[in-house]
A = this chain, B = another copy of it.
Amino acid sequence: MVLVDIGNTNFHIWQNGKIKHSKEIKRLSGEIFYISVNRQKEEVLLSLNPEAVNLKNYVNFNTNYKGLGIDRIMACKSITAGVVIDAGSAITIDVMEKGFHKGGIIMPGIYAFKKAFGTISEVLKFNEHIVTDEILPNSTNDALNMGSIGAVKCIIEKYAKNKKLFFTGSDGKFLSHMFINAEYIEDLVFRGMLLTIEEVKKSY
């Protein structure tokens, strides 16, 4: 069985518990289940693997959120309570309570923040580092870091309170280091996909 999570930038491919990230996809073997937030990349997958099954059509998820991305649904699906942060091209922050999705926030990803600053002025460059305290920045590097990484931290803290935090995505591990009650789960989206497959198979 192969699971494919098609993001805005990469194909994330799960096989036998191992995850690969790639800008391209090829012909895969065995049962293929996928989710996608990028129609063009999805068409590429399907042209090579027409039998691949879109789990979007089978997933059960409790939320009042209109138009919640399927990647966010899958990242949250295996979490009963806590805050789920998926930090990739975008950073999504979703709150789960008693198996119900209470709502969420979308921020630019770290790379998107850097690109945004770069389009304003070529001098607005920085190297990201974790924000551990509330000291006021006294350099451009720290000011930009606080205005991006610090802003992500600020929003997460606002909704986290005493909840457990679950991080995933390419920048998830880095961001998780700013919090005490945090866990980084590389395969969080795939756990949701596996749970969905299990539920579907049970229902037949």
Contact = CB atoms under 8 A, between A and B. Distances in A.
Interface of A: 8, 37-38, 63-67, 89-93, 95, 102-109, 112-113, 115-117, 119-121, 124, 134-140, 143-144, 146-148, 150-152, 154-155, 158-159
A66 B139 contact: yes
Given A64-B138, A154-B158, A8 B146 contact: no
Contact of A116 (B113, B134, B136, B158): B113
Nearest to A140: B67
Given A105-B146, A106-B117, A138-B64, A124 B155 contact: no
Contacts of A89: 120-121
Contacts of A113: 108, 116
B102 A136 contact: yes
A143 B64 contact: no
A84 to B, nearest CB: 13
A133 B172 CA distance: 27
16 contacts: A8-B121, A38-B121, A67-B139, A90-B120, A102-B136, A103-B138, A103-B143, A104-B137, A105-B137, A105-B147, A106-B144, A107-B148, A108-B108, A108-B147, A112-B117, A146-B155
A89 to B, nearest CB: 5
Contact of A117 (B90, B136, B138, B144): B90
